[in-house]
Chain A
Amino acid sequence: MKFAVCFLTSALIGAGVGGGGLFTVYLSLSGAASQLTAQGINLLSYIFAAAPASALSYRRYGPDLRLITFLSFCSVIGCVFGALTAPAVTDDALRKIYGAFTAAAALFVLMRRRSLLRLG
């Protein structure tokens, strides 16, 4: 089952919809892994799922390489702090923060979708 969920969430990532978060939620809630391990597994699978979509969108849109380099540099700085902070938080608290973030992001997408529909 966990491999099927990995496949489905990876397809969502490849389609540009997102979905990495769902795999973590599944692994954590099903008891297949602790929250921190689930996040690690999700990160690793994300790299391989997003690579085809990145190559495709890079070829299609040809974004500014300088912008990508600059953003990557800044993002890496933030990521080091984030990844070093995560193990300091308890598994339960991390799962709750993760859940709140995922629910908030989903609500945002739904609200935006609703306002777009209203605008026609």
Chain B
Amino acid sequence: MSVNFFVNGKTSSEVRAALCGLSAIAAGFISGFLGAGGGAVLLLALRAIYGREAKTPYAAALCVTLPTAALSAAIYTVKTGLDISEAIRFIPFAVIGGVCGALFMDRAGSRTLETVFALIALTGGCAALLR
């Protein structure tokens, strides 16, 4: 049985679907295990599969991370006894911050923000690793 992985130099739809599925499972695992990062992994994978120019990856990754995060949060609450009353206090700040960010998105230099975010994340990540 021969599987046609590539059609005219492009990934065939079946292989693309399989890669998307595997990437989503991996992203979901990271999201559940670390409580973050799944969206970034999925975005990276979808960009590799669909190409950098496609607009699908970003919106799809963002939409997929929401139900994943909701389920992860539910499991964390049940399995780790997460104090919901403590966590709920952060929600208003998250909502206002999210709305401000979404409105700011059109005007912000996303590349600059990305670099600043990466530098802070690198510092924080190293601090967590070395502590």
Contact = CB atoms under 8 A, between A and B. Distances in A.
B67 interface: yes
Interface residues of B, number: 86
A78 B34 CA distance: 12
Contacts of A60: 59
Contacts of B82: 37, 40-41, 44
Contacts of B60: 63-64, 67-68, 71
A98 B80 CA distance: 17
Interface string A5-17: 0111111111111
Nearest to A103: B125
Contacts of A70: 17, 20-21, 24
Say whether chain A's binding surface is mostly helix, strand, loop, or mixed: helix
A12 B115 contact: no
Given A25-B121, A44-B87, 9 more contacts: A6-B90, A12-B113, A17-B110, A47-B69, A48-B95, A61-B58, A63-B59, A95-B128, A99-B124
Interface of A: 2-4, 6-22, 24-26, 28-29, 36-54, 56-58, 60-64, 67-68, 70-87, 94-107, 109-110, 113
Interface of B: 17, 20-22, 24-40, 42, 55-56, 58-60, 62-73, 75-77, 79-80, 82-84, 86-91, 93-105, 108, 110-111, 113-115, 117-122, 124-131
23 contacts: A14-B104, A15-B102, A15-B105, A16-B105, A19-B117, A21-B124, A24-B36, A29-B128, A36-B80, A44-B90, A45-B87, A47-B69, A70-B21, A74-B22, A74-B25, A75-B25, A82-B72, A86-B33, A87-B80, A99-B127, A100-B125, A101-B37, A109-B115
